[in-house]
Structure 1
Amino acid sequence: MKELKFELEPVFLSQRIDKALSERMDGHTRSAIQRLLDDGLVSVDGRTVSKNYKIKPSDRLISVTLPEPKALDLPAQDRKLNILYEDDCLLVVNKPKGMVVHPAPGNEDGTLVNALLYHCRDSLSGIGGVLRPGIVHRIDKDTSGLLMVAKNDQAHLSLAGQIKEHSFTRRYHAVVYGNIKEDAGTLNYPIGRHPVDRKRMAVTQKNAREAVTHFRVLERLGGFTYLELTLETGRTHQIRVHLAHIGHPVAGDPVYGPKKCIRELEGQCLHAKMVGFVHPVSGEYLEFDSELPDYFQNFLDKLRRMQNS
């Protein structure tokens, strides 16, 4: 059993406890938190509470007990993986566009996790839970690029700690709509759940968390701009939300972009190009870079031809 403790902040006053925890517990959905509450695994100042409990001014501390992961019951599937690095602790995998990272409703198999189970056999960390073994961080289905995968809990804790402390480097490349005039800048806007559409994220002050994205213009291509982006934080859909907020959504983004999508991209033109981190055992700083995938390079080439014609 693992126990998490959260000191209550004024922002959570009068909120239902399941909602408050969903804003604090990365990687746990609201329904998963409700199951913990139903099982009596959540307490406020030592008192077990139900999922409809509303936080009071006198409340000080929430304690959450996470049960041991259940036995894994996911199929191992022989799917080709593009592995840039592997040792006894971890892997760095280049995920293709269109592959889901872990099983979820509507995507029960064919995911990166299914492929990892086949490749690694029993060597994956259990901290991510039954559906996310080895998964330290995620990228969206239609975002391509580099992911770290932990083979044991020690590596998982080390890598997750680096992400939390912002010492883990993540650089993305993207093509966005419009001409960004500044050569470089920082987007510092808090991100939380969209107030109406709960499947989307939004820049908001309500129940939001700090989100910081640095950008640098690589090339201006007529009605588009080619960017390098560095994440300081890692909120859900962070880059896509930030760029849409400033009026430059990622090209091809079906959720945050224009209604008329660029169909040839089949999703957002966003690639997780580089990761850098300290190895959990050796202490050596490692950095890995990936080539742009064909869909991205072909789109860039097309824009360059159009600009030069």
Structure 2
Amino acid sequence: MSTSHSASSSAQAARFALASKLRELRLDAGLTARALAAKAGWHEAKTSRIEHGKKQPSEPDLAAWVQACGVPGQLAELIAELRAVDSAWLDWRRAEKAGLTRLNVAVRELYERTTLYRSYCQDVIPGLLQTTGYTTATLEAIRSTRRVAVDDVADAVAERMARQHILYEGNHRFVFILEAAALKYRRGGQEVMIGQLGHLLEAMSLPSVSLGVIPPDVERAGRWPVESFYVFDNAQANVELVSGFLTITQPREIAMYVEAFMRLHEIAVFGRSARVLIKAAMDALE
């Protein structure tokens, strides 16, 4: 991935962090850049370009690097970091150039294979729990705001609705945490919102679903609202930002999102208490 492919500071930071780690391994091994290049079988300039983040190493490059430094046990973690850099950032303009459906189809297999799905949403109902009307209003707003040229909202909505079969089938577990504000932000008008909130009440009865709401007056104790994020098993976390889509595959960073999720889970209410909050939001609309 070249620098031009990403405007994300997170992706750039990940790229330079990998380069820095490789340089530290070389220095710890007491090797000059020339000596490492000789051991790895490439030109000294390649070592320099990798260490300065100007060239992204391949997985074979990493294997040669750790072998030259005498630390083959580091290879698995380095490969995980490399793959995290490769897939870290996708800006919306590039992702949605051909419309909204393509990206939704691209993540279908990820949802299908996930057994434990954890979702935290600050201002929107998560996609797996959305009604057709709510999804349509959301995607139409996205298409307008992000100036997506292709009008394939209907196809994208159909794809998202089809994805929801995993709520009813297979060995999947879902834990959703919503900020109370997500129940009140209107998308699609009064009738759509009432239908959406009613759908949440129905979804709560599914054996596979655990739905928690963080009350607006809860003592946060440092558990402040953060960006909406989704964790797929312990294999991947996705974060939707204003400018693009961040995919995290580095185990250490995934663990940070899991920890953040658990801290938010601690202040959420479930069952009857969550229903009270949802019904109050419905009453306010009616």
Larger radius of gyration: 2
**TM-score, reference length from structure 1:** 0.27
More strand by share: 1
| TM-score relative to the length of structure 2 | 0.29
Structure 1 or 2: more helix by fraction: 2
